[in-house]
Amino acid sequence: MLHLRLTSPADRTEAVVSLLRETVGTAHLAVLPGAAVDPPGDLVLCDVAREAADGLLRELKDLGLAEDGSIAVDDVHLSLSRRATQAEREAPGAGVDAVLWESLIDVTQEESRLTATYLVFLTAATMLAACGVLLDSEILIVGAMVVGPEFGPLAGICASVVRRTPRLGLRSLLALLVGFPVAMLATCAFALLMNACGLFSEEKFSRPHPMVEFVWQPDAMSLVVALLAGVAGVVSLTSAKSAALVGVAISVTTVPAAGHAALALSYGHVSDSAGSMLQLGVNLAGILLSGTLTLLAQRLFWARVGHRRRAAAG
């Protein structure tokens, strides 16, 4: 269940309450006349099944609440109520499958901004990957994958294509196009510094690295893994299963590939760097393709569910 807290102008409260009453999957409706101070109006509270929330939010926006009032949504982690159970049963589909498009756009907007924090995480992850390559350490490679924040902008691009919001797409693309070069340049400087300190060396770089050589040796499986990771990542975002994103991060070698490419460039190994850049490109393209197709499939599915619901109501 989701909890809605609505600030409604007094002249629209009746329409808001009527909409909430008519929406299948709502429960626990409460109205506090005149309780809202800024902006002024009535406070309307309601719980709604997750699978019914997206259409309801869209209709509330059509009533102008986003402009003249407010719409706040919170997750209800526990609801001991017969009425809530009934509302979830009446709502079409399953809550875990539901897509809250407004929530998805909000999350991807936040995660895809080119901020200092984003650059620090991406740079630190790329440096960790460089250390992992030189030490032939799978643990450090996995750590770099988890630290890397690049899935946010990738999801932002997917969402922008499906929702036709070019500003979000451009912001996300900027985060990738600026973030990775900055992180790689910083990692090149880091490698040279470590080399000067005697901790890195070209000899160590040139040794065989059987545990992590997959980072710079892309093949058909690289694309397969990227496609699967894109599906899993998008579904984890839309279903609020954020823990699954950790598995997605560990699945793809975007940051490790960037780390190896920077390390190879610092020693003048252009061919090795090219292999890593190809690996990076394959992973990014695969995630973008499968992520976008997954969102399109989810949008089509829930559009059909909504159509059947309206047909049954009519």
Q: Of 62, 97, 132, which residue constitutes the final position of a domain?
A: 97
pLDDT digits (tens, 9 = 90+) for 9-35: 999 999 999 999 988 889 899 999 999
Residues 68 and 115 in one domain: no
The rounded mean pLDDT for the chain is 86
Note whether residue 306 is domain-resident.
no
Which of 48, 76, 97 finishes a domain? Answer: 97
Q: What is the pLDDT of residue 305?
A: 64
Domain boundary residue, one of 52, 81, 97: 97
Give 170's pLDDT tier (boundaries 50, 70, 90): very high
> Could you write out the DSSP letters of every residue in the chain?
-EEEEEEE-GGGHHHHHHHHHHSTTEEEEEEEEEEEETTEEEEEEEEE-HHHHHHHHHHHHHTTHHHHSEEEEEE-S----HHHHHHHHHSSS-GGG---HHHHHHHHHHHT---HHHHHHHHHHHHHHHHHHHHT-HHHHHHHHHH--THHHHHHHHHHHHHT-HHHHHHHHHHHHHHHHHHHHHHHHHHHHHHHTTS--HHHHHS--TTTGGGG---HHHHHHHHHHHHHHHHHHHTT-TTHHHHHHHH--HHHHHHHHHHHHHTT-HHHHHHHHHHHHHHHHHHHHHHHHHHHHHHHHHHHHHHHHHHHH-
Domains contained in the chain, number? 2
pLDDT in tens, 107-123: 787 778 889 999 999 99
Q: What is the pLDDT of residue 312?
A: 54
Are 164 and 240 in a shared domain?
yes
